[in-house]
Structure formats: C-alpha cells, structure tokens
Amino acid sequence: MSSAEPTEAEPTEAGPTEQTGPAVREPGRAPRPAAPVPSPLPGLAESARLLADATTTSTALVADALARIEATQPTLNAFRHLRAADALAEAAEADRRLAAGERLPLLGVPVAVKDDTDVAGLPTHFGCDGERPPVASDSEAVRRLRAAGAVVVGKTNSCELGQWPFTEGTAFGATRNPWNTAHTPGGSSGGSAAAVAAGLVPAALGSDGAGSVRIPAAWTHLVGIKPQRGRISVHPHSDAFQGLTVNGPLARTVADAALLLDAVAGAHPEDFHRPPAVRAAEAARRDPGRLRIALAWRPPLTLTGAGPDPEVRRAVTALADTLARLGHHVEEARPRYGLIGLAFVPRATVGIAEFAARHPEPALLDPRTRSALRTGTRLGGRVVRAARAREVRQHRRIGALFDASGFDVLLTPTTAAPPPRIGRFDDLSAWRTDVAMAAACPYAWPWNVLGWPGVNVPAGFTRSGLPVGAQLLGPSRSEERLIALAAQLEDDRRWFEHRPPV
C-alpha cells in the first residue's frame, strides 16, 4: 500500500497534449517536466473483452493505470490512496484465472472507488484530515466488485464528508478538472470523475447524496448514474445520510456505467432498502420507445434566484432538440417541488453530524463542517423524523408529473453553472458556501430526497471548452428506461469520442 501524496501544480489551461503531461512547478524551483503519461485506458467493457480474448493482460492494464495515476497526480490529484503492490498481485492472480478459462464480468479490470468507501487494508478518510486506522473489511459494494473480478487500484479524493460540489481540502489539496486544470471537476465524487475522464481507470464508483455523482459527471463529460435508493448497498452504513446517499458508477459510456452498476448492485442482509433487481447492461442495448419527456428549467426553491447560465441553457436546449428529433415528445413543464428543501436540510445536516461525530480529532475538521455538525445536532430527533415522514407526500406531489401528467422522464440541467475555478469557495463562511453551491447546483438534490434514479449525460461544452451536463430523471425504479434513453442519446451524439487534453 502506498499513499498518493497530492502536490499542488500551477493551473494549466486546457490545450492539446500527447504523451507528456504539463510542466509541474514546485515552490522556489524552475518548472520540471511531468512524467510521461501512458495512453488512456480502454473503457470498462472493452477492457473486459480484451482480457477475455487474451489480447492484453490484467497485469498490463493495472500497471498502465498505476503509471498514469502517478504521472498525473501532481496535476490532477485524483487519488488519496493507491494499492500498487496489492493491485499488481491481484492482477497477476486474475491473469492466472483468465488463462485457466475462468470468466467473470470484470475479471482483471482495474477500477477505483471513492474515499468514503471501505477497502480492507486502507483507511477511510472521507476527505478528512488526520490519521485513521486501516479498515478490516470491504464495504458490500467493494465485496461485489471483487466478486465480479475487478481489481481496485486505489481510492479517489472526496471533499470533507461529501458536503460540497468541489473536491478541495486541507487534507489533500485540490483535485483538478482534466478538461481545464484551473477548474474543479465537481464534487463530492470529484476524484472518481477526474480519474475516469482522464483515462486513469476505465470506470469508478462514486456516491451521490445531493448530486455528488451527477454533478462531477456533468463537469467532466461523463455518464453518471444515481440509482434507486438501495440498488447498490451502502453497508456498513444501513441508511447513509438519513437515506439521501447512494453509491453510483461514473464512466465514459452508458454501456460501461451500466456494466459497473450490474456488477455492484444488490443488498447486504442488513440493508433497509431492497428494490427488485434490474438488468442495466441489457437496458443499454434496448430501444427506449417513444417517450413523453418534460423539460424543466425552474429549479426548486433555494432563495438564491438561481437559473441556468446561458451556456448551460444553450447546451441543454440542443440536447432536448436531439430528443425531439429522435422521435420523443418534449414539452416544457414544471414539477411541483413544493418546499422540499425543508425536508432536505435536516436530513443532510444530521447525516453530516453523524459522520463528523465519529472523527477522532474534531479540531481538524473544516469550520464549515463543524457548523453543519452543530446544525445537525439541533435538527436531530423529532425534526429529522418529521422530515423523513414527508417523503411519502413528496412522492405523490412530485410523482404527479409522471402519474397524472403522463410524462415518462424529466429532463433538467444537472447544474446551473459550468465548473467553477479552483478556490472559488475558499474562505467562505458556512452560510455563504451553502448559498454559492445552491446557486451553482440547484437541480440535483431533490431526487436524493425522493430516493429515485437519475442519469447525467454529457450535454456539450461552453465556448471556452468546459463540460456541462443534463440529467434524465425518473420515478421509482426507472433505471432501465433512463439507461435505454441515455444509450440512444449516446448513439446519436457520440460524446465518448471527445477526450480531455491532459
């Protein structure tokens, strides 16, 4: 086991590069060239196919992933921990199993998981500073990844306790966007998103408690799936962040995201939520049929007056036009969100308080985290129980868009703004940080309150080359429809042909 030590680099504007990364500037020294960067890894399904056909080896793929991670760590800073020795040993074992004829969905394929996910032998810092002992057991999601044959190469950076739509902190520095390293890849699954977008790994797991898979997917030109609550186990947590948080895949294609979802889906015996199984990979090959799609521009009430940036609106409008050209009925509509924020805030802050209270050195926590801890402590008990009890009424009110109005899918921007610059949220108070992130990201979090699925799809780029996304949202247990629709869009728009320059 080795730690991936973050090194701050001079921000670089996006520009064409080949096999060598941008120069790295260290304080007080002249720039030194970064290590040569190996070619991006193939996607998840393609890696599995190459391994099954004996066109490559797991050892080669894992070694390439580790070399690419090490070469880009000074500039992208995507990883908190690497498992270099263990991953190479597991790759060698996968090669022996492949040579013996064994076949599993991901046998020998390198993947990454987020820093909130337990991997035996590594600490679970969840973006926090300070020392933590290694955990003894894998989380259920990692156990299922291993059962599918995947090789976990490391753990990716997350902001502290997953609270913010940026991946920066005193514990590890700043994780940067491969499309333009002066900007954030989003958060809180920013390390996973940066790693996949840059081709360091074919796919990665993130988690989504208020858009934390979909937001970084939007800002790094990826497919990100927030599945139905309970679809992927969050064990050893039975009800993470008061039911708001789920695990979900990030990948460059719908097929890869669906393959990863199938590999890790399923409940632990102690899980509260146990939805019936879906076949995501099959859905990615299925025609979605002609759908009625509601296009909503107005976000839920956040008291920020937030609306979509003109470049976000332009990109999402173009995507809606594509859906209409593909034969779907697209119509502007307005979901009845009501005062859903009154249910979200207690659940979110109580969830933060529950995690923060376990930190062995509370003084090391960000002042904004300590503020959330105090708020969550006040809103615990009766208040959070009442917030959770409202969920049934919220299902009926917002679900009327699908049940009474007859829409199949809701389309919205994933974020109101393109990815902010690194440091945009530095030195803000807890209140000002909340206001700023609510203005930038007002669209994603209601679906966490509801527990329903959503898929971010790339919507295009701003004129300066920054990615933006759109989310396809559905009612309960509608992953297969959303995945089929996303795959149809991908066939037409072919977003996977565009790669960042880093």
Helices 58-72 and 84-99: angle between axes, nearest 10 degrees: 160
User: Does the annotation mark 114 as catalytic?
Assistant: yes
- The catalytic position among 58, 114, 139, 233 is 114
The string of DSSP codes covering 408-425 is SEEEEES-SSPPPBTTTT
Distance CA 382, CA 373 (A): 17
Quick check: helix, strand or coil at residue 44?
helix
Residue pair 395/447 in contact by the 8 Å Cβ criterion: no
Q: How far apart are CA 56 and CA 151, in angstroms?
A: 15
Look up 2 and say whether it is catalytic.
no
Residue 58 among the catalytic residues = no
Residue of 192, 207, 212, 371 marked catalytic: 212
Distance (Å, whole) CA 311 – CA 296:
16
Asked whether 47 and 30 are in contact (CB, 8 A), the reply is no
Cα 189 to Cα 175: distance, rounded to the nearest angstrom: 10
Give the whole-angstrom CA distance, residue 250 versus residue 264: 13
Do β-strands 329-332 and 292-295 pair in parallel, antiparallel, or remain unpaired? parallel
The active-site residue out of 139, 188, 192, 371 is: 188
Return d(Cα 469, Cα 135) in angstroms, integer.
35
φ, ψ for residue 54 (rounded to 5)? 60, 30
What is the side-by-side strand order in the sheet with 203-208? 2-3, 79-82, 151-156, 110-114, 203-208, 246-251, 223-226, 454-461, 467-473, 409-413, 292-295, 329-332
**AA letter at 446:** P
What positions carry a catalytic annotation? 114, 188, 212
